[in-house]
Amino acid sequence: MSNISFGTDGWRGIMADDFTFSNVKIVAQAIANYVNDNNLGDRGIVIGYDNRFLSPEFAKTCSNILTANRIKVLLTDQATPTPVVAFAVVNYKAGGAIMITASHNPPAHNGIKFIPEYGGPAHKGITDKIIEYVKKVVESNEINERGSEEWVRLCEPKEDYIKAIHQLVDGEVIRKANLNIICNPMFGAGIGYTADILESLGCKVKAINNYRDPLFGGSMPEPTMVNMKDLIIAMEEEKADLGLATDGDADRFGVVDKEGNYISPNQVIYLLQYYLMKTRGWKGTVARTVATTYMVDRLADKYGLEVIETPVGFKYIADALINKNAFIGGEESGGLSIKGHVPEKDGILACLLIAEMTARAGKSPTAIMEELKTEVGCLYSKRLDIHCSTNAKEKVLNYLKEYKPDSVAGQKIKNVISIDGQKFVMEDGSWVLIRASGTEALFRIYAEGNSMEQVDQIHAQMRQDLRI
C-alpha cells in the first residue's frame, strides 16, 4: 500500500503511482466501513466526479464497493462540481458523499474527498477515523467488491443547485446591468454552471475552455493570473466587463475586471464581505484563515464585527459558518462560502456574487477597492512558495521553534500567532506567516504590508533569517 493520508482536503496522489484502482478500493472500503458503523448507509451516499482522466471509472469503482457493502448510492449523471455534490448531500438528506477530484492539481493527479452529511469538508475527527479504517482494511485485506446495480440510482443535482443559487444571488440586479462576461471553467467540472446561470440572467456570455480535456490545455486548472492569459485575451477581444473562472472542480474562483486587473482571492473576500454588509445588512462574524488578508479585519473593526482566525483548510471555515454565526468565510487560496449555503467552498457562487456586486455598483472591482481605501486604507499581499530538500525542511522547522526576532522589515513585533505555522504581526499592521507544507518539501511565506516594497522586504528577511 502506498501512503494514503488525508490532507487539508482529502487524499490526493499521482495516477498509476499511488492513486491506483487498488488503493481507491481500499479507501472506498474504509469509507463504507465508516458509513455502516455510523448507520448512514440507508440514507445513501452521493458519488460525484470531475473531468480528470479515469475519474468516471474511479467513481464507478467506489460505487461498486459501497453497494457491495449494502450502501445505497446516488451516482451523479455527469462530471459535477464539488460544491454541487456537497449541495446534493444536504438536498437529498444523504449520509455523505465521495467526490473523485484533485481540484486544481496537475493533470496526472487525482483524489478522493469524503463529504459528511452536513455538506462541507470532513473535519479531522472524521478523516482520522477513515484512516484508521484504511489501516484495518490493509491488515485484513477484506474488500467487498461484488456490488449490485440495484443499489445505484443516478442523480441530477444541477437543477436544484441552480434554484438554490438563485435564492442567494440577486438576479434582477444582474439582469438590469446587461453585463458582458467571459467565463472560463478551465476544462473542468464547472462547465455549464456559471455561464448558463449568467446567460439566463440576460448577460452576454462567452465561454472558453468549456469542453472536457483531461490535460487541461497543457496547464493546471488553477485560476491564477498565470493560468488565465487566454481569458484576458478573450476579454480584450469582446470588450468584456468581467472575466470569471473556476478551477478543475469549481470550488475555487478567479476574477479579472474590465481593465485587465486580476482580482486576487484576498481581494474578492473582503470586497464581498463589504458588499454583503452594505446590501444585505448582514452582521455576525467573519471567518478567515491565518494566511488570509487583514483587510477583512479592518472592515470588521469599522463595522463592529468579530473576526474568527482559523488554521489553513476550509474545514475550519466550515465550522465557523455552521457553529459560530459567520456570514462569510474565505481563504487566500480561493475558497469562499456564505451563510444560507452549504459550508463548502464554492467558486460558482463567488463568481456570481462578484457579478452582482459589479452590476449593482456600475463599476469594476478595482474601482470599488479604490473607494474602500478612503474607509480602511489598503494592504498588499503576496505568497512566496519555496521548494527545498527534505533535510533543509527539517532544519528550518527546528530553527523556527527557537526563532524569535524583535522586528521584521524594521517594524517591531506586536504579536506571535502559532495556530498554523509561525506568524509574526507587526506594530504597523504588517505580518508574515511561515508555514510548511504537510505533504511536500515546501515552505510558504505569506506576507502582507502597507506597500509591495515592504512585502518584498519582509520576504527577503525571512529568506535570509531562515536560510531558505
- Let me know whether 294 and 174 are in one domain: yes
DSSP letters spanning 384-434: EEEE--HHHHHHHHHHHHH---SEETTEEEEEEE-SSSEEEEETTS-EEEE
Please report the pLDDT score of residue 390 as a whole number. Answer: 84
Number of H helices, E strands in the chain: 15, 21
Alpha helices per DSSP H over 3-123 = 21-37, 55-68, 82-91
Residue 92 domain flag: yes
Question: 470588450: which residue's cell?
Answer: 239
Coil, strand, or helix at residue 191? coil
Residue 168 domain flag: yes
d(CA 192, CA 325): 32
Residue 465 grid cell: 533569517
- Which DSSP letter does residue 72 get? -
CATH number at residue 432: 3.30.310.50
- Let me know whether 327 and 245 are in one domain: yes
Rg over CA atoms, the chain: 22
d(CA 363, CA 310): 32
Residue ranges of the chain with pLDDT lower than 70?
1-2, 7-9, 439
Give the sign of the dihedral formed by CA 398, CA 293, CA 224, CA 109.
Answer: positive
CATH number at residue 246: 3.40.120.10
Please report the pLDDT score of residue 5 as a whole number. Answer: 75
Residue 425 grid cell: 504581526
d(CA 214, CA 51): 6
The pLDDT tens digits of the residues spanning 83-104 come to 999 999 999 999 999 999 999 9
Number of domains in the chain: 3
- Let me know whether 22 and 35 are in one domain: yes
- Let me know whether 401 and 273 are in one domain: no
DSSP letters spanning 119-154: SSPPPHHHHHHHHHHHHHHHHHT-------GGGEEE
CA dihedral 254, 258, 264, 268 (to 10 degrees): -90
- Which DSSP letter does residue 217 get? G
Residue numbers of the domain that contains 229: 161-376
- Let me know whether 325 and 394 are in one domain: no
- Let me know whether 315 and 197 are in one domain: yes
Please report the pLDDT score of residue 144 as a whole number. Answer: 94
CA angle 411, 416, 418 (to 5 degrees): 145
Residue 3 domain flag: no
- Let me know whether 368 and 419 are in one domain: no
211 and 271 Cβ atoms separated by less than 8 Å: no
Residue 150 domain flag: yes
Roughly what angle, to the nearest 10 degrees, separates helices 295-302 and 365-376?
60
Residue 6 domain flag: no
The pLDDT tens digits of the residues spanning 382-428 come to 999 998 888 888 888 888 988 999 999 999 999 999 999 999 999 99
Phi-psi region of 66 (alpha: psi -120 to 50; beta: other; left: phi over 0): alpha
- Let me know whether 314 and 427 are in one domain: no
Residue 453 domain flag: yes
Task: Tell me the sheet residues that pair with 205.
Answer: 181
**Beta strand spans in 249-400 (E):** 253-257, 262-263, 285-289, 306-310, 326-331, 335-338, 380-387
Residue 1 domain flag: no
Helix (H) / strand (E) containing 242: strand 242-246
Which of the listed residues 107, 134, 156 is the one where a domain comes to its end? Answer: 156
Please report the pLDDT score of residue 8 as a whole number. Answer: 61
Which of the listed residues 156, 187, 216 is the one where a domain comes to its end? Answer: 156
Phi, psi of 240 (to 5 degrees): -80, 155
Helix (H) / strand (E) containing 93: none
pTM value is 0.95
- Let me know whether 62 and 116 are in one domain: yes
210, with CB counted inside 10 A (0-12, 13-18, 19+), is middle
Coil, strand, or helix at residue 12? strand
Task: Tell me the sheet residues that pair with 381.
Answer: 448
Which of the listed residues 105, 124, 156 is the one where a domain comes to its end? Answer: 156
Please report the pLDDT score of residue 1 as a whole number. Answer: 47
- Let me know whether 372 and 385 are in one domain: no
Please report the pLDDT score of residue 467 as a whole number. Answer: 82
- Let me know whether 91 and 237 are in one domain: no
- Let me know whether 136 and 39 are in one domain: yes
Residue 4 domain flag: no
